[in-house]
Amino acid sequence: MLRLTHTFLPAMVERGEGRILNTASVAGFEAGPLLNVYHATKAFVLSWTEGLSLELEGTGLSVIALCPGPTTGE
């Protein structure tokens, strides 16, 4: 996620348009026992996406985080 953004963001800013969609999770909104690294990783994705979105205000770019909930294994 970070490397892809670092690679493609400069051209998007230069063009003045673009969209970045990062996949986070509802797990990023709270701590999770026995899955704490997963929850912390998703919290990073959320926080980083929000910060990047603020930094890019007024550039014509949008950055959003998709936060799906739990799914079944079927």
Show the 3-state SS of the chain: CHHHHHHHHHHHHHHCCEEEEEECCHHHHCCCCCCHHHHHHHHHHHHHHHHHHHHCCCCCEEEEEECCCCCCCC
How many domains does the chain contain in total?
A: 1
Catalytic residues: 38
- Domain assignment present for residue 72? The answer is no
**Global pTM?**
0.88
pLDDT in tens, 2-37: 999 999 999 999 999 999 999 999 999 999 899 999
Give the domain range for residue 41.
2-9+17-66
Give the model's pLDDT for residue 26.
Answer: 96
- Domain assignment present for residue 57? The answer is yes
- Domain assignment present for residue 51? The answer is yes
Q: How many CB atoms lie within 10 A of CB 47?
A: 13
Give the model's pLDDT for residue 57.
Answer: 97
